[in-house]
Chain A
Amino acid sequence: MLNGIFRKIIGKGGDSSKDVAKKRLKFALVYDRLDVSDDVLEDLQRDIVEVISRYFEIDKDGLSLDIRESGDLSALVLNTPILSKRRDTS
């Protein structure tokens, strides 16, 4: 209760530990529910890199592939630094 009063006075402050727990849980469950294994993600990443590499020079080490939850949907998010356009595609 005292804690509650302090919080009211000081303002909300950062997330409480249960908010952190809930966020982490929701994220973990997105992966669990899609039932995507690390192997599948790795294969997917390899194939995507292969396709993109036909058109762009990319930094393969800087590439990240994530599944994120936005609202009710799960989104596949790919982030990759592009070094340059391949000449032969012009």
Chain B
Amino acid sequence: MKGKIVVITSGKGGVGKTTATASIGSALALEGNRVLLVDMDIGLRNLDVVMGLENRIVFNIVDIVKGKCKIGQAAIKDRRIDNLFLIPASQSDNKDVITPEEMIRLAEKLREEFDFILMDCPAGIEKGFENAVVAADEAVVICAPEVSSIRDADRIIGLLFSKSITPKLVVNRIVPEMVERGDMLSHEDVVDVLSIDLIGLVEMDDQVVVSANMGTPPVLQKNSKAGGAFRRIAMRLNGNEDLPLVVPQVPNRFWKKLGRKIGLGK
């Protein structure tokens, strides 16, 4: 087995990296892949709570790297989804405790055991980013349609290119109503500014908060708009690259229908 390491990154914090990692990873495992999620945010771990696995942590990524335990001992097996595992970050160390060389060595071993290894990258461009990216084969940049997020994404994209990685873009938290009235950048605007290929469009979805409350990835929630979008992103990562993009739409309302009848609007 020669797995693929995909880093999920954004530059700016709070745009949905961890939710995306949990969701895309779960969806890949549901498709039958052997998937490992790695929380690289050492000192500020979160992927464990989003996945609802915080009570089962014994060892963490730092323990593995420093030889205190084996990969199999630290990887927590998800009980809801087959073939899904999580290696949590350490909460007590700081980001400098692991070196890029150690990450490259670890990555070699992980590729032998899993089809997909998703690295949840910390915010920022310092050592933590370096460690998460150093062994990556592919990268997914998560970006919200707002000025600060896009600016930071641009910086991250530049850094990834300098490491010979061509990232794919996810525009997250799209509010179609706001896009329609010109108060939110559309995904076309974002792509125009960042000029990289899209791999998914995710609508703003209250269910994501509910999922995080419960510790269940949104892909397991029925009728979750974000969950569906993340499932499609997973399919594209899994080789189904031609799967068409679904653009979040404003629900069909009375006024819209009427507007169309009298020849206004799209």
User: What are the residues of chain B within 8 A of A3 when measuring CB–CB?
Assistant: 181
- Interface segment out of the listed B33-41, B102-110, B253-261: B253-261
User: What are the residues of chain A within 8 A of B185 when measuring CB–CB?
Assistant: 18, 21-22
- Per-residue CB contact flags for chain B residues 241-266 toward chain A (1 = under 8 Å, else 0) read 00000000010010110010000110
Residue of A nearest to B177 (CB): A1
- Sorting the interface of chain B by its residue count into under 10, 10 to 19, 20 to 34 or 35 or more gives 20 to 34
- Interface segment out of the listed A28-36, A42-50, A77-85: A28-36
Question: Is the CB of A2 closer than 8 A to any CB of chain B?
Answer: yes
Expressed in whole angstroms, the Cα–Cα distance for A33 and B179 within the complex equals 27
Query: Contacts A29-B154, A32-B154: A19 and B193 contacting too (C-beta < 8 A)?
Result: no
Query: Contacts A25-B151, A29-B151, A32-B155: A16 and B181 contacting too (C-beta < 8 A)?
Result: yes
Q: List A residues at the B interface (Cβ < 8 Å).
A: 1-5, 8, 16-19, 21-22, 24-26, 28-29, 32-33
Question: Is the CB of B197 closer than 8 A to any CB of chain A?
Answer: no
Partner of B253 from the list A1, A8, A21 (CB cut-off 8 Å) is: A1
Question: Is the CB of B184 closer than 8 A to any CB of chain A?
Answer: yes
Interface of A is mostly: helix
Expressed in whole angstroms, the Cα–Cα distance for A17 and B178 within the complex equals 10
A22 to chain B, nearest CB (A): 5
User: What are the residues of chain B within 8 A of A22 when measuring CB–CB?
Assistant: 185, 189, 192-193
Expressed in whole angstroms, the Cα–Cα distance for A76 and B189 within the complex equals 26
CB atoms of A4 and B264 under 8 A apart: yes
CB atoms of B151 and A28 under 8 A apart: yes
Report B135-180 residues with CB < 8 Å from chain A CB. Answer: 146-147, 150-151, 154-155, 158, 179-180
